[in-house]
Amino acid sequence: LSHDDCLTAFPALCAELNAYNPSLLVKKRLIVGTKLDMDGAPERLAALCARCENERVFGISVFSRAGLKELAAALKDILKT
């Protein structure tokens, strides 16, 4: 979330996964934006959430620990199913 290109990273990654193995695109996933503590990151996270509205998007900061509990809970949920 520290750079504006974070908004184009997910579609680019999906295109690469599709080229490599399309079955990877149907697996359960979470989108995690890091460096939530950086200037402008909350706004970029909001834009990323809007752009990826059908995905589970999380913003985290290892320094402030923001979002880590929510991400851990989501990971546990995915691993249960």
Q: How far is CA 6 from CA 16, 23, 38, 55, 76, in A?
A: 16, 24, 13, 15, 25
* Residue 12 structure tokens: 């680019």
For residue 27, which phi and psi values (nearest 5 degrees)? -75, 155
Q: Is the pLDDT of residue 81 over 90?
A: no
Q: Is the pLDDT of residue 40 over 90?
A: yes
The pLDDT tens digits for 3-39 are 878 889 999 999 999 999 999 999 999 999 999 999 9
pTM of the model: 0.86
Residue 5: burial class (beta carbons within 10 Å; 0-12, 13-18, 19+):
exposed
User: Which of 37-46 are b and which e, b meaning 16 or more Cβ less than 10 Å from the residue's Cβ?
Assistant: beeebeebbe
